[in-house]
Amino acid sequence: MAKARRTPSAPASGTASPIPVFATMSTMRSRRPTRSTAGRGTAIGAEDNPVAARYVSPDVIGYSDLDDYGTWSSVEGYGNVWVPTSVASDWAPYRQGHWSWIEPWGWTWVDDAPWGFAPFHYGRWAYARNRWCWVPGPVRARPVYAPALVAFVGGNNFRISVGAGGPSRGIAWFPLAPGEVYRPAYRVSRNYFTNVNVSNTNVSNTYVTNVYNKPDAPARRLSKPRSARRNDGGARGRVRAIAAGRAICGGGLA
């Protein structure tokens, strides 16, 4: 647990490349990228999966794995979403894997699934139609990598901290929903804070700036479509999902 107090030497301008992280995680899962690259996700098997390319920015690292392990559909309020097909009926994101301290981001989620890079470091997860689905960011946006797009619940008073670092006494975490603002636990510039959010979910620059300027402001945008509220039940719906075992719990980060 001591590591949770560390402050990573963060990429304030977002210049650090997540490609080595992808390679490391692929090795952990006995997988390898099809080609090495010094820059963009398009070089890692992107040309092999045209279906995902219709809905995901070609710069999302690891997106070419999605077509082999899930299906695409349209959900009102969210648009095109991806649903994993080789999972149990009670599966939930950020449950089967582990946390690893990776510089310069700090605590990083390493998922066990062979497709488990893109959906856990880009976009958002939503609970709709009694299942979890991944909602990619705007397809025309240049995506910015995040170590884990979750909110932590921890401490004696169950305080909530949004970001990959999490509280030192973290006992549970759950995925951020579409429209919720991600607050990095590492030091970042205003530019990075904006880009890591607007490139991964549909949320306005103005709202993201307001959250940046006022850390205590709600991290959820206020103008969520009614159809989306019906799909996931809002905060109460996700609390019910947690109670039903559809969200994730853990005993700590180390």
Q: What is the pLDDT of residues 89-98, one digit of tens each?
A: 999 999 999 9
Phi-psi region of 184 (alpha: psi -120 to 50; beta: other; left: phi over 0): beta
E-strand stretches of 4-51: none
**94-126 confidence digits (pLDDT tens):** 999 999 999 889 989 999 999 999 999 999 999
- The percentage of residues in the chain with a pLDDT greater than 70, rounded to a whole number, is 58
How many helices, marked H, and strands, marked E, lie in the chain?
A: 8, 10
Of 9-23, 32-46, 60-74, 139-153, minimum mean pLDDT range: 32-46
State residue 23's pLDDT score. 62
Of 34-38, 46-50, 63-67, minimum mean pLDDT range: 34-38
* Structural domain range at position 64: 2-249
β-strands 124-128, 131-135 pairing: antiparallel
The reply to whether 254 falls in a domain is no
State residue 86's pLDDT score. 87
What mean pLDDT is reported for the chain? 74
Distance CA 109, CA 150 (A): 10
Q: Is the pLDDT of residue 33 over 60?
A: no
What are residue 111's DSSP bridge partners? 97
- Model confidence at 173, pLDDT cuts 50, 70, 90, reads confident
- Model confidence at 24, pLDDT cuts 50, 70, 90, reads low
Total domains present in the chain = 1
Most confident of 103-107, 118-122, 221-225, 241-245: 118-122
Model confidence, pTM: 0.73
Question: What is the H or E stretch that residue 249 is in?
Answer: strand 248-249
What are residue 131's DSSP bridge partners? 128
Of 45-54, 134-143, 200-209, 220-229, minimum mean pLDDT range: 220-229
Q: What torsion, rounded to 10 degrees, do the Cα atoms 149, 89, 238, 6 define?
A: -30
State residue 6's pLDDT score. 43
> What's the average model confidence in pLDDT over 32-49?
39
Of 35-44, 179-188, 196-205, minimum mean pLDDT range: 35-44
Closest residue by Cα to residue 188 from 145, 252, 143: 145
DSSP letter at 136 equals -
The reply to whether 20 falls in a domain is yes
How far from each other are the two terminal CA atoms of the chain, in whole angstroms? 6
